[in-house]
Structure 1
Amino acid sequence: MCSDIERADPARQYGKWGRMEIVGQGFLARNLRPIASAHSGVVVAAAGVSAAGGTSEEAFAREAGLLYELIHRCKEKGHRLVFFSTASTGMYSTPGEPGREDGPVFPATPYGRHKLALEAVLAASAVDYLILRLGHVVGAAQPPHQLLPAMVRQVMSGRVRLFRGARRDLIDIDDVVTIVDRLLATGVNRTVVNVLSGAAPQIDEIIDDIEAILGRSTQRTYTATGGNQQVSTVRLRRLVGDVAGMGFDKDYYRRVLAKYVPSYATPRSLTRGEPEAAACDRQ
């Protein structure tokens, strides 16, 4: 995902018999391809807005247009549509009760409001659908604006800018793919599922671990942040039994960082983009 929204031709990618149709060419799309042969009659909209901050209305409009097109196509074909939303602070921003899929949400950012609006369009349609609100997905070869590569660049530069008191729930892309595979296999339909570990460490703890992995120390500056709402994974754990074996405990994020941080500290990775202000809030 090198731009705010991936360019995709739904007419070209849709309708190949016998395989899950993945619309998009970016990070999520590439990682979902290995399970495509197991899920015919499913269309995955993996070409949406991928930057939580500073996204243009034009990018939002492109994603909305793509989703409307896919809804019409899925209705005609009788296919199920998978849409990726967000479980970040852009969506869940009110401290207190854990954020639930069936509870009220008060998105704090244009990105969160955009995703919630598209969720409503899909829920009001006649198609079968699965909406997945993702945490901060981490994996190899991510776009430079996303959370982990942005944080590694900042640590390597010696200076990081953080949102004070922020928490970020990291989840390995391999675990995301397993969860999607299981949800589709069991026929979960017309529902929203939070997909994240459920254990969100403080952003300072994440930086501490990245520094330890890379043998670096940084100068930290802070800016104000909004509320951090805990996000419920009760529905996820009920629907996907495999979650119990994924190690979603308080040290899960450390294992994810150890797995992927070194690959983002290479010279090639560091030249993919400049350190970004407040990048530690990226989706």
Structure 2
Amino acid sequence: MTAPAYRRPPTPGTGPMSGADGMEIVGNGFLARNLRPIADRHPGTVVLAAGVSWAAGTSDADFAREATLLADVAEDCRAKGRRLLFFSTAATGMYGAVDGPGREDSPLTTCTPYGDHKYALEQQLRASGAEYLILRLGHLVGQGQPPHQLVPALVRQVQEGSVRIHRGAARDLIDVRDVITIIDRLLAQDLRGETVNVASGEAVPVERIVDHLAERLGVTVHRDVRDTATVHHVISTEKLRALVPETAAMGFGPDYHRRVLDDFLASYSA
């Protein structure tokens, strides 16, 4: 995904996304669209929901455009005293080399170009002088997400009858609706200078995800299992659960991914 050029918001009071009326959302993709219903609840916050949003997006040009966009938005926030919400990643590229669950304060050795890029952007933001909140996201799932992302791509492959899987690969799936609730609660606390993992805390083997999709779709799937240097990691949600006690009612646990996948399939079929 190519990051758009940043356009500063309209004069306060002249548009629905202005700083006076609500938070400004930079971007118009999957996450940006889902954030719009809570925009009026968080004036004084700018959300950067644009840029490279998937681990296979390793274009140096796209990475450079996102770094430039972040620099522009952060400088505007610094000058106007606004808080910047930035979305990073809690995926393998960030935590794959961590011993034990990946915590926000874990010493990091990023292990993919995407992980390198997102961590570099975090460091860039911390040094910018802007007020910020960094959220490291698991794998979001929900209605209308781009077809190249994990679950839509797996659904398409399952329907076609053949799936390529890296042996031992696992993903932490989280419903985008739960993510929006969590973001709403975190922003309401006026957190600044913090980094928080937003995930379910369950690393689900991709083979199990494929099994569930095949069962629900009623198809037989050929699995092309590849042996690669796959890292199995778990995302720590200790800090998230302390900050947002409502997560206790979201059903996070070993079977949470089943509900997430079923809801996605229902919207996908519709």
TM-score band w.r.t. shorter chain: over 0.9
Q: 2:171 is paired with a residue of what secondary structure?
A: coil
Amino acid at match of 1:175: D
Structure 2 residue 166 is matched with structure 1 residue 163: yes
- 1:114 counterpart letter in structure 2: H
The CA deviation at 1:12 is 4.5
Task: Map Cα deviations across residues 227-253 of structure 1 (whole Å, 9 max, x no partner).
Answer: 122111111011111111111011100
Q: Secondary structure at the match of 1:247?
A: coil
Q: 2 CA distance for matches of 1:211 and 1:73?
A: 48
| 1:145 to 2:142 alignment | no
| Cα distance, 1:262 vs structure 2 | 3.8
Offset at residue 9 of structure 1 (A): 3.4
Q: Name the aligned partner's letter for residue 256 of structure 2.
A: Y
Picking from 235, 257, 260, the partner of 2:261 is 257
Structure 1 window deviating more from structure 2 (219-228 vs 235-244): it is 219-228
- 1:232 counterpart letter in structure 2: S
Show CA shifts across 1:70-117 (max 9, x none).
111001110000000001111111263211111112211101100000
Residues 1:237 and 2:251 are matched in the alignment: no
The 3-state SS of whatever aligns with 1:221 is strand
Kindly indicate whether structure 1 or structure 2 has the higher relative contact order, using CA contacts under 8 Å at least 6 residues apart: 1
Partner of 1:121: 124
CA 49–14 in structure 1, closer or farther in 2 if over 3 Å, else same: farther
Pairs aligned (count): 263
Between the aligned partners of 1:261 and 1:230, the Cα distance in structure 2 is: 25
Maintained 8 Å contact 2:3/2:62: no
Partner of 1:11: helix, strand, or coil? coil
In the alignment, does 2:6 pair up with 1:9?
yes
CA RMSD across the alignment: 1.5
- Cα distance in structure 1, aligned partners of 2:206 and 2:152: 14
| Offset at residue 124 of structure 1 (A) | 1.8
- The two structures have a TM-score, normalised by structure 2, of 0.93
**Contact 2:142 / 2:176 at 8 angstroms: preserved in 1?**
yes
Q: Unpaired segments of 5 or more residues in structure 2?
A: 13-17
Which of 66, 69, 74 pairs up with 1:66? 69
Equivalents in 2 of 1:71, 1:95: separation in Å?
29
The 3-state SS of whatever aligns with 2:92 is coil
Contact 1:8-1:23 at 8 Å conserved across structures: no
Structure 1 stretches lacking a partner, 5+ long: 267-283
Deviation at 1:54, TM superposition (A): 4.2
Q: Is the 8 A contact 2:6 2:72 kept in 1?
A: no
Identity %: 53
- The residue aligned with 2:26 is 23
Match of 1:273 in 2: none
Quick check: 1:225 aligned with 2:229?
yes
